[in-house]
Amino acid sequence: MSWEVVIGLEIHVQLNTTSKLFSGSKLSTGAEPNTQASLVDLGMPGTLPVVNREAVRKAALFGLAINADICRHSVFERKNYFYPDLPKGYQTTQLDKPVVGAGEVEIQLESGEKKIVRIHHAHLEEDAGKSLHEDFHGMTGIDLNRAGTPLIEVVTEPDMRNAEEAVAFARKLHAIVTSIGICDGDMSQGNMRFDVNVSIRRPGDALGTRTETKNLNSFRFMERAIKLEVERQIDVLEDGGEIVQETRLYNGDTHTARSMRSKEDANDYRYFPCPDLLPVEITEADLDALKASMPELPDTRKARFLADYQLSEYDADLLSGDLATAAFFEVAAKAGGDAKLAANWVMGELAAKLNAEEKTINDSPVSADQLGQLIARLKDGTISSKIAKQVFEACWAGEGDPDAVIEAKGLKQMSDSGELEKIVDDIIANNAPQVEDYRSSDDAKKKKKIGFFVGQAMKATQGKANPQQLNALLKEKLG
């Protein structure tokens, strides 16, 4: 019998507020260790936390974006456990009455199939500090700058059945939180990280024992970690063993996973209401204001791309998912005057270069306006597709805008019919056997054989010949 995979996710989303969840300490990436933690963040005696109103607002905005129930009267609890980078010895979080209740997110798979993933809830909580293991000669350093950073933890129902569905959901959630502006989505900095709960069972059986793989910070690592854990669990069960409920860690560099600790249950944390914080009240007026300020959501943006730019479902889905990519595409499409060409370049040449150099689209050396200018020169016939790639590479290297590169390198497409005709005549005169072979072939073979002459012409013009003009001229001359 086959195995059925059951997956649920817990996603930590760092809110991009100016200050921390319960103190006025600033949030800044890259600050010197232990320079951004106040006495409140450290839980020193005599200090009192104050809830960050903006963090509550952003949590509720997220709830509205996923059509969730918003708790009008939410409370904070203390979750007690010891960890070296948890200075207070407890984490202030939410358990019984989180800000965001049940909601749902629709995902689309590569096959085109759509699926609803249910959200159990999303609660507000503070982050812990960070343990540093490098450069301490066998010891561990503790950086408490991150302690008290506001998070929402999004908890799904176990609705996903394979790695593809889990990654599709993760990408969609990333698109939502970045689109509504509550998180920058930078997974390399841990600003969005995923815990994956995986179990397997025979179809129709009760849920199996689950394991949790913690702190996955890329979609690729998530996919690999899930597949690895599924394989491990199947091997264990088919060898007659039992799955142990535990927390695991995945190493993306070595593609290995290991057990970190046995998995705790809620009662192990000795939750109790936080005596220092009053309940948070959210009014109808608050929700009305949030609804009025809701930015464009990914699904709405996709529908607009389909309608306004006549993109395919596939192109619109890819381009609308990431806010930065969507904005880049729109600028390039408008500047270049061709949405399809812009889509092809953003998802093709640009994406390949960004991936190769591990850059985000925000770090692209080629701006959206520059790509638009390149597309405009392609569209008006100034350059060919082959030359366009040369121009793109030059722009990437910082050699200037496309127009300046084209001019400086003399890359304008050759469209002078008289000059092209002379080149074609010379090629025909110097390649009599190939000409004879071409003329004696049927139409199907001629389509393939004309490539030889096109290649010769492109070589003679250093790739500058207008392809359409050249093909028409060759067909006319060759007969």
Listing DSSP states for 442-468 in one string gives -HHHHHHHHHHHHHHHHHHTTT-B-HH
- Ordered domains of the chain (ranges, CATH): 4-288 (no CATH), 296-409 (no CATH), 417-478 (1.10.10.410)
**Given this model, what pLDDT does residue 265 score?**
67
Taking Cα atoms as reference points, which of 411, 89, 459 lies closest to residue 269? 89
pLDDT-based confidence at 192, cuts 50/70/90? very high
CA distances from 21 to 26, 131, 192, 215 (A): 10, 20, 17, 21
What φ, ψ does residue 73 adopt, rounded to 5°?
-140, 85
Radius of gyration of the chain (CA): 29
Greatest mean pLDDT among 215-219, 328-332, 360-364 lies in 328-332
Q: What is the mean pLDDT of residues 15-25?
A: 96
10 Å CB burial of residue 115 (0-12, 13-18, 19+) is middle
Q: Is 112 helix (H, G, I), strand (E, B) or coil?
A: coil
- Strand-pairing partners, residue 11, are 154, 194
Task: State the first-to-last Cα distance of the chain, in angstroms, to the nearest integer.
Answer: 65
Helices marked H in 44-180: 53-65, 163-179
CA distance 427 to 423: 6
Residue 281 clears pLDDT 90, i.e. is over it: yes
10 Å CB burial of residue 106 (0-12, 13-18, 19+) is middle
pLDDT in tens, 348-365: 999 999 999 989 999 999
Q: Is 134 helix (H, G, I), strand (E, B) or coil?
A: coil
CA atoms in the 13 A half-sphere facing the CB of 98: 24
pLDDT-based confidence at 266, cuts 50/70/90? low
Q: Cα–chain-centroid distance for residue 85?
A: 29
What φ, ψ does residue 93 adopt, rounded to 5°?
-145, -165
Q: What is the mean pLDDT of residues 447-451?
A: 79
pTM of the full structure: 0.83
Place of tokens 């982050």: 127
- Strand-pairing partners, residue 211, are 198
CA distance 301 to 60: 21
Least confident of 93-97, 105-109, 376-380, 443-447: 443-447
Q: Are 450 and 441 in contact (CB under 8 A)?
A: no
- Strand-pairing partners, residue 114, are 108
